[in-house]
């Protein structure tokens, strides 16, 4: 029997894994649950992702793209006159205003790196890429502090269920940015 050509199968498995985590949490993700959700044979998931960690890494990489898209769509970092604190607060507002399930999923995968060392490099890449994006507007140390603060604000909103307060976020972020560096 000839193999069916299916160039999108790997991507469908990643999308399915993200849906499974969104519905059942990380504990509900397995090769079997991803295969069932993607409507592919179990062997396809283990062919494309030898371990569950490999599947989680692919899902986390894709999930990280959500916040990157928010940043790219706003485009405020290119203009040096843009108020950096307001821009960052706006990023978080746009991100948190979208599909909350997607944001929760991103953080669930991000925090899974605490117990799954294979995910750590991907989580670190995301934080480093964001800090690198901010460093030209401030400095590397402040950029890392802003990333940590933004993570903290987002986690508090997700964990407490309170509404995101963009003005509060802007004020707190502005306190971290050295005078004259944020516009």
Least confident of 12-26, 60-74, 103-117: 60-74
**Sole residue written with tokens 């307001």:** 86
pLDDT at 40 over 90: yes
CB 59 within 8 A of CB 11: no
Instruction: Please tell me the distance from the alpha carbon of residue 129 to that of residue 144, in angstroms, as a whole number.
Output: 10
- Asked whether 92 and 71 are in contact (CB, 8 A), the reply is no
Q: How far apart are CA 121 and CA 139, in angstroms?
A: 23
What are the tens digits of pLDDT across the range 147-182?
Answer: 999 999 999 999 998 899 999 999 999 999 988 765
26 within 8 A of 36, measured Cβ to Cβ: no
Tell me the pLDDT of the chain averaged across its residues: 87
Report pLDDT digits (tens) over 46-79.
Answer: 999 999 999 998 988 887 776 677 777 777 777 8
Q: What is the pLDDT of residue 2?
A: 44
pLDDT value, residue 1: 45
In the block, tokens 């508090």 appear at 156
The C-alpha atoms of residue 46 and residue 107 are separated, in whole angstroms, by 25
Select 76-176's CATH number: 1.20.140.10, 1.10.357.10, 1.10.3720.10, 3.40.50.300.
Answer: 1.10.357.10
Measured CA to CA, the distance from residue 149 to residue 66 in angstroms comes to 19
3-state secondary structure the chain: CCCCCCCCHHHHHHHHHHHHHHHHCHHHCCHHHHHHHHCCCHHHHHHHCCCHHHHHHHHHHHHHHHHHHHHHHHCHHHCCCCCHHHHHHHHHHHHHHCCHHHHHHHHHHHHHCCCCHHHHHHHHHHHHHHHHHHHHHCCHHHHHHHHHHHHHHHHHHHHHCCCCCHHHHHHHHHHHCCCCCCC
């Amino acid at each position: 029997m000839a193999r069916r050509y299916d160039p999108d199968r790997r991507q469908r498995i990643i999308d399915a894994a993200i849906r499974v985590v969104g519905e059942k949490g990380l504990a509900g993700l397995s090769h079997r649950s991803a295969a069932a959700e993607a409507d592919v044979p179990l062997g396809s998931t283990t062919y494309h992702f030898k371990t569950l960690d490999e599947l989680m890494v692919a899902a986390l990489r894709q999930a990280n793209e959500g916040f990157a898209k928010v940043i790219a769509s706003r485009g405020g970092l290119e203009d040096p006159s843009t108020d950096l604190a307001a821009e960052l607060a706006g990023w978080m507002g746009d991100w948190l205003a979208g599909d909350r399930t997607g944001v929760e999923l991103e953080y669930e995968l991000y925090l899974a790196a605490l117990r799954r060392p294979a995910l750590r490099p991907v989580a670190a890449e995301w934080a480093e890429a964001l800090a690198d994006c901010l460093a030209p507007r401030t400095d590397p140390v402040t950029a890392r502090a802003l990333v940590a603060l933004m993570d903290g604000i987002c986690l508090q909103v997700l964990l407490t269920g309170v509404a995101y307060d963009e003005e509060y976020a802007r004020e707190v972020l502005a306190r971290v940015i050295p005078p004259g560096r944020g516009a």
